[in-house]
Chains A and B, each alone.
Chain A
């Protein structure tokens, strides 16, 4: 079960990485591209933290802490960009 899960997570992370690189080549404006890239980054970050680092099995405090950090970081960057 877990074997398949890790592979699925890895493939998803690689696809998200390639998508992020492709977004740069699209002519959709710098701000929109930055927003899409940062959302894709957030998904990858959470994928690594929750699955590879097994945070999904941890106490809610640690899950919330990662989510709050991510939201604050993403929010600040998106406001400034």
Chain B
């Protein structure tokens, strides 16, 4: 099947594939419900949540948002170049996408290290229990996303690449999902309390 001719207006063929979109909605609901639970708990201990939020480094959170959004931009450009049969450019953009992911993980590791050093571990209080569970779960998604993108990168750079647009788009959609989840986490955990 020539996938460039798939009609994305068809309900069964959203960009990235229907299965991935089902996963995306499940993920969004999971994180969404956890964040709602976090806000509900904050009503019982507003001072604890406010003071704990102030212990987070907003600049780190902001910088990580910039890393992921820029990475998402390069991912979209990579898919666009792949569709235009420009594998070289697509590969370059894919490298930049992965660089964004690595920088995110690097800064997150530094942030985690700081928190552990300060004794702000998962059992410190309710706020930090949510902080660790939600951000770590998201980090796992970023790690899985990087593994997927690495495999796409290897496929793309093979001499006789058999990489299909459907696979490329599905990987890109997974990567963008990591963006979406972080966009939900950042304002609730780092800003609103």
**Residues on A facing B (Cβ under 8 Å):** 2-3, 6-7, 9-10, 13-14, 17-18, 20-21, 23-24, 30, 33-34, 37-38, 40-41, 44-45, 48-49, 51-55, 57-59, 61-62, 65, 69, 73, 76-77, 80-81
Query: Does B139 touch A at the CB level, under 8 Å?
Result: no
**Chain A interface mostly:** helix
Give the Cβ gap from A10 to chain B, nearest Cβ, in Å: 4
Q: Are A37 and B11 in contact (CB under 8 A)?
A: no
Q: Are B72 and A48 in contact (CB under 8 A)?
A: yes
Task: Using CB atoms, name the residue of chain B closest to A45.
Answer: B183
Size of chain B's interface in residues, with CB distance under 8 A? 43
The residues of B that contact A57 with a CB separation of less than 8 Å are 8-9, 15
The residues of A that contact B62 with a CB separation of less than 8 Å are 17-18, 21
Contact with A along B37-75 (1 / 0, CB 8 A): 001100100000010000000100010011001101101
Task: Give the interface centre of B50, B69, B172, B188 by most chain A CB atoms within 10 Å.
Answer: B69
Task: Using CB atoms, name the residue of chain A closest to B80.
Answer: A2
Of A3, A44, A55, A76, the contact of B183 (CB 8 Å cutoff):
A44
Q: Are A33 and B40 in contact (CB under 8 A)?
A: no
Query: Can you list 24 A-B contacts with CB-CB less than 8 angstroms, sorted by A residue number?
Result: A3-B77, A6-B76, A6-B77, A14-B66, A20-B191, A30-B50, A37-B187, A37-B191, A41-B187, A44-B69, A45-B180, A45-B183, A49-B176, A52-B75, A52-B179, A53-B15, A54-B8, A54-B76, A57-B15, A73-B36, A73-B184, A77-B188, A81-B39, A81-B192
